[in-house]
Amino acid sequence: MFSFIKKYTETMEHSTIYPIFSLLVFVVFFVGVLWYVKVMDKKEVDTIKNLPLEN
Amino acid sequence: MQVESFQYDNKTVRNFAIATIIWGVVGMTVGLWVALQLVFPTTLNLQPFFSFGRIRPLHTNAVIFAFVGNGIFMGVYYSLQRLLKARMYSDLLSKIHFWGWQLIIVAAAITLPLGISTAKEYAELEWPIDIAITLIWVVFGWNMFATIIKRRERHLYVAIWFYIATFVTVAVLHLVNSFELPISLFKSYTWYAGVQDALVQWWYGHNAVAFFLTTPYLGLMYYFMPKAANRPVFSYKLSIIHFWALIFLYIWAGPHHLLYTALPNWAQSLGVVFSFMLIFPSWGGMINGLLTLRGAWDRVREDVILKFMVVAVTAYGMSTFEGPMLSLKSINAVAHYTDWIVAHVHVGGLGWNGMLTFGILYWLIPRMYKTSLYSNKLANAHFWLATLGILFYAIPMYWAGWQQASMWKQFTPTGQLKYQFLETVTYMRPFYAMRSLGGLLYLTGAILGMVNLFKTIGKGTLVANEDAEAPALEATHEKHKGEHWHRWIERKPTLMLVMSLIVILIGGAVEMIPTFLVKSNVPTISSVKPYTPLELQGRDIYVREGCYTCHSQMIRPFRSETERYGEYSKAGEFVYDHPFQWGSKRTGPDLAREGAGNNKKSNAWHFNHLDEPSAISTGSVMPSYAFLIDHELDTATTASKIKAMQTLGVPYATGYAEIANKELMDQAKLITANLKQDGIEVGSNKEIISVIAYLQRLGTDINKK
């Protein structure tokens, strides 16, 4: 499936680490954002949310 | 806690607002003009300054950078001050920003009709203006960041994140894409060649849509929609996911403009995957915008401002659904180069940017002038004209796009192409006329809006400096228990900038670095040689006249294209092209192999065709280029052009610049002698000869032994 990438990467040593690393960057990034959003302090969210309506 | 008194600067906001209105009407008028040029090609193409190829870039630059650009600054200067409870850092910087930006627009309005253009879409302005844009952008960023630093509100509301991401990304895009080698005050060559130039250009072009037309306007949506609806945004948490996901994914999507081209396949695939994923954050944002109105939908019926905003956000949803769909290779194979794309961008431009801008203007102007809107009726009329205008514009163009694609691709039972290209052009003209009507409706609405807003200004008085009060920010902030790391980022704007920068650099770097460094990505073809001096000069005229606005130079590997245009295009054929001229729209046929195979025409054919296209191809919408017969070719630039090309790595022999003009004249004489045999008398020193030489060269190299 990834023959078009393999051609370039198989000449590098330990090339299998690159796709795994890319996948990790993705997963960590999005899990990080989702997790952060989940644990946000509700009171603080309400304060920020209402900032545009203050003046 | 000490309460401080200060004043908001409304004057700069007002100035940007007026500029938005005026440039909007100007940009849309030019748009209507170019639309009508396709209906009345002979009467409306006022050559050479106002031909389609020169003023179509004027239209796109005007609506993007003048109308939407001023709209961004208007909204940012208003909302930033209030969200931070601070006046803009420096009145002087605000002034320099405002007038500097207007001067840039005027410079664009002068240089583009003069044919001073880099021919890179939405980045056509030449290098001195590019430098001016950089300086003014820095002034904007400086003013914004200094304001953020002296703020009285600790939290940075999500709108400001969007502004920060906009600032940093546009800076990166502009700098990378404008890397060029000047050869005179008004002419430069892009540093990149062929495939690499295409990748950089569409990384820029796509992200100009993302970070100039989208992210700043999302910031405005997150501020002005709650304002207009008088209720907070539906979900602040969703807006955070929206922000990070959008800026992370957007930057990778550029290659979807180059599907099935000579761009390496892996880069195309990355573009497709990320473009498709974009639908999630985009729709998250749209839903967040629309649900902000939950419980207030009854007000949408009466409040014209909310009407504008609802249509804007809906149009955002439609175009961000369509975008990922168009990025799928099977759909792109049909839609690319057709008028479908024109419909798509206008749903975004007229719908999302236009309607949100007018919604904000109708909200903003009466407030800054402490009065009410001059006429609600007029604003309602504007709303309906604009909405109908979008429909009258988009529907004929969708239809036209499908029709075009299917006519290009149809074969007869015996295996021949069913339609000549010209037949597809004449078929389009009624659709072009209907689209112009849509444009006219939208423009009429905008003019009503202008009258309404100026009348409102006339009956009120500007509160140039609006009084406000807020407690000063404590110098140190105690981290309370359980506080999250993101809070920490949110309070540190510089860190926010750095984080945004890292996030947007990942995608661009992954796609560009291998294309530049891995040699096998652009396989060289030994028979591909640099252009002759005459061809190079002709190519620069092709660039000057904006031929790329209607003609592509990229044959995709489909039978319908190889039958019509010849062998599909290879990456190695473009290695000496500064800039690349692949184009993005086929109002006319592809020219990649204009000089080769079945496409090859005589010099006399080209001469007569450029002189009067419709005399050779009945029903053609191409304007006449008769002035090329009168204009003398400027050969004084030949040596410096050859030297510039050598600097860029084009392998002309050492000292070639000195003999280039002699070779140029020899080749020109051959062409004029050939024309003479067909009864055409013309001087060898005319521009048309170099254009013919260039057209005859196109696509011929790979057949050479």
Reply yes or no on whether the pLDDT at B117 is more than 60.
yes
Q: Is residue B20 part of a domain?
A: no
Give the pLDDT band of residue A1 (cuts 50, 70, 90).
Answer: very low
Q: Report pLDDT digits (tens) over B68-92.
A: 999 999 999 999 999 999 999 999 9
Q: Report pLDDT digits (tens) over B43-62.
A: 998 989 999 999 999 999 99
In this structure, the answer to whether residues B542 and B676 fall within a common structural domain is yes
Question: Phi, psi (5° rounding) for residue A2?
Answer: -100, 35
Q: Report pLDDT digits (tens) over B591-618.
A: 999 999 888 999 999 999 999 999 999 9
Euclidean distance between the first and the last CA atom of chain A, given in angstroms as a whole number: 55
CA atoms within 13 A on the CB side of B370: 7
Average pLDDT over residues B430-438: 96
In this structure, the answer to whether residues B639 and B554 fall within a common structural domain is yes
pLDDT at B108: 97
Contacts of A49 in chain B (CB under 8 A): 232-233, 236
Question: Phi, psi (5° rounding) for residue B83?
Answer: -70, -25
pLDDT at A19: 64
Query: How far is Cα B437 from Cα B445, in angstroms, rounded to an integer?
Result: 12
Give the pLDDT band of residue A16 (cuts 50, 70, 90).
Answer: low
Nearest CB among A7, A25, A37 relative to B237 is that of: A37
Domain boundary residue, one of B411, B444, B468 = B468
Rounded to the nearest angstrom, the gap between the alpha carbon of residue B154 and the centroid of all alpha carbons in its chain is 36
Query: How far is Cα B511 from Cα B274, in angstroms, rounded to an integer?
Result: 12
Q: Is residue B47 part of a domain?
A: no
pLDDT at A13: 56
Query: How far is Cα B452 from Cα B377, in angstroms, rounded to an integer?
Result: 10
Q: Report pLDDT digits (tens) over B560-573.
A: 999 999 999 999 99
Q: What interhelical angle do B656-677 and B603-611 show, nearest 10?
A: 90
Task: Please tell me the least confidently modeled range out of B187-191, B197-201, B231-235, B261-265.
Answer: B261-265
Contacts of A39 in chain B (CB under 8 A): 484
Count of structural domains, chain A:
1
Question: Which chain B residue shows the shortest CA-CA distance from A7?
Answer: B520
**Per the structure block, which two tokens stand in for B254?**
């550029």
DSSP letter for B262, please. S
Question: Which chain B residue shows the shortest CA-CA distance from A33?
Answer: B241
Reply yes or no on whether the pLDDT at A2 is more than 50.
no
Nearest CB among B159, B248, B514 relative to A8 is that of: B514
pLDDT at A14: 57
Nearest chain B Cα distance for residue A40, angstroms: 7
Across A49-53, B154-158, B375-379, the highest mean pLDDT is recorded for B375-379
Reply yes or no on whether the pLDDT at B646 is more than 60.
yes
Domain boundary residue, one of B468, B490, B514 = B468
Nearest CB among B155, B269, B484 relative to A4 is that of: B269
Enclosing domain of residue B670: 533-703
Question: Phi, psi (5° rounding) for residue B9?
Answer: -85, 110
Query: How far is Cα B562 from Cα B362, in angstroms, rounded to an integer?
Result: 52
Average confidence score pLDDT of chain B: 93
CA atoms within 13 A on the CB side of B630: 6
For residue B271, count other CB atoms closer than 10 A to its CB.
Answer: 27
Q: Is residue B368 part of a domain?
A: yes
Nearest CB among B157, B222, B484 relative to A39 is that of: B484
Query: How far is Cα B402 from Cα B407, in angstroms, rounded to an integer?
Result: 8
B468: region left, alpha or beta (phi > 0 left; psi from -120 to 50 alpha) = beta
Nearest CB among B223, B506, B518 relative to A52 is that of: B223
| Beta-carbon separation of B518 and A8 below 8 A | yes
pLDDT at B643: 96
| Beta-carbon separation of B248 and A29 below 8 A | yes
Q: Is residue B628 part of a domain?
A: yes
ipTM of the complex: 0.78
DSSP letter for B659, please. H
Proportion of chain A in helix, strand, coil states, percent, rounded to 5: 75, 0, 25
Residues, chain B? 705
Query: How far is Cα B505 from Cα B662, in angstroms, rounded to an integer?
Result: 47
Contacts of B486 in chain A (CB under 8 A): 36, 40
In this structure, the answer to whether residues B672 and B596 fall within a common structural domain is yes
Domain boundary residue, one of B438, B468, B498 = B468
Contacts of B254 (CB under 8 A, 6+ apart): B199, B202, B203, B204, B205, B206, B207, B271, B511
Q: Is residue B664 part of a domain?
A: yes
Query: How far is Cα B213 from Cα B347, in angstroms, rounded to an integer?
Result: 12
Upstream peptide bond of B48 is cis (omega within 30 degrees of 0): yes
Give the pLDDT band of residue B456 (cuts 50, 70, 90).
Answer: very high
What percent of chain A has a predicted confidence (pLDDT) above 90? Answer: 15
Average pLDDT over residues B409-432: 95
Q: Is residue B72 part of a domain?
A: no
In this structure, the answer to whether residues B362 and B439 fall within a common structural domain is yes
pLDDT at B73: 98
The CATH number that applies at residue B571 is 1.10.760.10
In this structure, the answer to whether residues B458 and B537 fall within a common structural domain is no
Task: Please tell me the least confidently modeled range out of B405-414, B493-502, B679-688.
Answer: B493-502
CB pairs under 8 A between A and B: 71
Question: Which chain A residue shows the shortest CA-CA distance from B242?
Answer: A33
* Predicted TM-score of the model (pTM): 0.93
Q: Is residue B192 part of a domain?
A: no
| Beta-carbon separation of A52 and B79 below 8 A | yes
Enclosing domain of residue A39: 3-53
Q: Is residue B157 part of a domain?
A: no
Count of structural domains, chain B:
2
| Beta-carbon separation of A51 and B155 below 8 A | yes
